Amino acid sequence: MPTVHRSVVYDWLRHDKKFPHVWCPGCGLGILLGSLVRALAEGGYDKNQVVLVSGIGCSGRLPVYVDVGSVHTTHGRALTFATGIKLAKPALKVIVVMGDGDATAIGGNHLIHAARRNLDLTAIIVNNLTYGMTGGQYSPTTPLGAKATTAPYGHSEPSFDISALTVTAGASFVARSTVYHVTQLDQMLGQAIKKKGFGVVEVLSPCHTNYGRQNRLGSQLEMMKGYKKQAVRMERWDKLSPAEREGRFAVGVLADREYPTFLETYQGAVERALAARREG
């Protein structure tokens, strides 16, 4: 193992306390964990200035393994806790890890308004198209017609696009990758964490135990190979016809723009209020 990688493991992971991890063998969350600690290490961040926040679900366990301050919160409310932390301690680098159900179902309203306010947070949304931990119920990202424990004859609702939703809502940075595209994922997490404003990284990760089994998608390896076949980089995506896009998805940076953050606009309001008080 190269020295730099050994340093990352021993500096950033609670390797002597929390391993082996609780995820199913072959789950992509272990790959995401590796990408996250590499992004933090390569970004040169101080561990004492990083906070990880998570909600409920398989992804909610991820902060347990990282040797930084962490908060394991209630279902759908991770962004609200993260908002409070950031407002109380603006110097902290606050990263929120959520699943697609956690972030976009019960937590969907918080996600929209965090993006609209452009809170200076990083949201990592693990999209496995299902509620993986609680038994394989359908989520807002489960494809139309796919099977779930709560849709044994096929899901009757269309899904929505997490990345497109957060772009439209006003996030400063939005990107999508998969746990197959590890080098790209490392880079995108690094960009999102560094970005001032609300940064979103949607990470497609297979749930072979529930979603894959119910929909006969094969082993975790076969599901991972599916990402290789289905993913199209953004520079090619725009050139594809609707027919060519069928059954595929874009990976890359969807938005990277400069907006004032909520802390900046709020501080401006505070200063105006104090000025008015002095004048009055």
CA torsion 108→109→113→116, rounded to 10°? 60
Mean pLDDT, residues 168-180 = 97
Q: Per-residue pLDDT for 57 more than 70?
A: yes
Nearest to 205 by CA among 235, 180, 242, 229: 180
pLDDT tens, residue by residue, 120-137:
999 999 999 888 888 889
Query: Is 58:29 a contact under the CB 8 Å cutoff?
Result: yes
pTM, entire model: 0.93
Mean pLDDT, residues 106-123 = 95
CATH number reported for the structural domain that contains residue 183 in this entry: 3.40.50.970
Please state the domain count of the chain.
1
Percent of the chain with pLDDT over 70: 98
Q: Per-residue pLDDT for 2 more than 50?
A: no
Q: Per-residue pLDDT for 224 more than 70?
A: yes
pLDDT tens, residue by residue, 75-103:
889 999 999 999 999 999 999 999 999 99
Domain range for 192 is 3-279
